[in-house]
Amino acid sequence: MKKRLIRGSALLATLLVLAGCAVGPDYQRPAAATPAAYKEAALPASEAGSWKTAEPSEEALRGEWWKLFGDEGLNQLQEEALRANQNLQAAAARLTQARALQREARAAFFPSLDAAFGPSRQRPSAVSRGLPDGTPTSPSTTWRAQASVAYEADLFGRVSSTADAATADAQQSEALYRSVLLALQADVATTYFQVREQDAEAQLYRQTVKLRTDTLQLIQRRYDAGDISELDLARAKSELAQAQSEALGIDRRRAAAEHALAVLLGRAPSDFAMPPQPLQKVAVSVPAGLPSTLLERRPDIAAAERAMAAANARVGAAKSAFFPRLDITGAFGYESSELGNLFQWSSRTFLLGPLVGAALSMPIFDGGRRQAGLDRARAVYEEDVALYRQTVLNAFREVED
């Protein structure tokens, strides 16, 4: 008994040591080319006000920045877009999927428990019973009521690497959702002000058409009186026609912007209309530090970085495929040839270890399948590193522009 306890303790200690032997690479964010200063000259101190150098903060909340314009109509449109925009709902669904996959991957840290009940009928061969060949055997029915448990020991980090990859995927989906949300808010505000800008231009050109019409009537009377030449009359008619044409172009541009805004709100263009309202002068009061934080909140960079982390974790999972895998299984319950005797104490039974094969499996030869999987995982990681660095470069370009 004592020897069994010692052997069991030694086996448990060995498994615990192996469980800590993760073979995946530790994740470190790759360096990206970062200039010491921006190329374009900074504002003089007298003009800079409360602006400061941007410091990355991808997790910072964006807030309802459009309320700085003090436009109640814009506020209502932003709320409607948040509820009804289909692209945003699709991004939210993708985030839900990623979080579900994360929970699914983390479930592998725990054993699975199943229950089963039912009969099986079997007729064994004579040879399997050690009887002479040709000896008749009788079929038998066995009733079973049992619970089974299965667990994979995380010997070389396969389970933890897979869970880390799923966690990074969920974080990437969250960053992409924030990116879609921020783009939607910006598109709604931009399109709204485009409509209002066209309203202001339409009002201006209506006044211009009226003035051109009055001018033409005056020139027509002077022409009829012989005070001016036909060239002056033709010029006045041309100016009126040009003003009328530009007014029609404004109406078309306004309609196109209104249609685009309807789609952003999740509506059909035929079901949405905005009453004309010329753009009013807007006095925006910017809180201290806010302009710089607009440069710090880059969800696209956060998403690219999380994609790298997920790819790095999958390299670890691909490496672990080269090492042994330990699956622990067991079953316990009742077994009887008669249903009425199934739950008697004498009918209890148990099984430890897998039903077929050995608990500890070691890969030997697979024609290069595992190596190909590792090469692919490394290539995906290198791709994500390049995409991350390109995203950072694009961010610097946008700041410089």
What pLDDT digit, counting tens, does each position of 121-163 carry? Answer: 888 887 777 778 878 888 888 888 889 888 888 888 889 999 9
Chain segment 231-245, per-residue pLDDT in tens: 877 887 887 788 778
Main-chain phi, psi angles of 113, to 5 degrees: -125, 125
Q: Which of 167, 180, 179, 177 is nearest to 307 (CA)?
A: 167
What is the structure's pLDDT at 359?
72
What is the structure's pLDDT at 234?
81
Chain segment 27-86, per-residue pLDDT in tens: 766 666 555 555 554 444 444 444 343 344 555 456 788 888 888 999 999 999 999 999
Q: Work out the mean pLDDT of the chain and round it to a whole number.
A: 80
Give domain limits for the chain.
Answer: 68-121+137-400
Which residue type is seen at 200?
A
d(Cα 401, Cα 390) in Å, to the nearest integer? 16
What is the structure's pLDDT at 180?
93
Residues near 58 by beta carbon (within 8 Å), at least 6 away in sequence: 175, 296, 297, 298, 299, 301, 302, 305
What is the structure's pLDDT at 389?
87
What is the structure's pLDDT at 20?
53
% pLDDT > 70, the chain: 79
Q: Decide which of 347 and 187 is more confident.
A: 187
Name the region of 63 (left: φ>0; alpha: ψ -120 to 50; beta: rest).
left
Beta bridge partners of 361: 325
d(Cα 282, Cα 81) in Å, to the nearest integer? 23
The two tokens of residue 83 are 């509820």
Lowest mean pLDDT among 225-234, 266-275, 279-288, 301-310: 279-288
For residue 151, the surrounding DSSP H or E stretch is strand 140-153
pLDDT surpasses 90 at 345: no
Its CATH architecture, for the domain 68-121+137-400, is Up-down Bundle (1.20)
Give the CB-side neighbour count of residue 153, counting CA atoms within 13 A.
22
Provide the whole-model pTM: 0.73
Lowest mean pLDDT among 49-58, 317-326, 340-349: 49-58
Chain segment 274-289, per-residue pLDDT in tens: 988 877 776 665 554 4
Main-chain phi, psi angles of 348, to 5 degrees: -70, 150
Chain segment 69-124, per-residue pLDDT in tens: 888 999 999 999 999 999 999 999 999 999 999 999 999 999 999 999 988 888 88
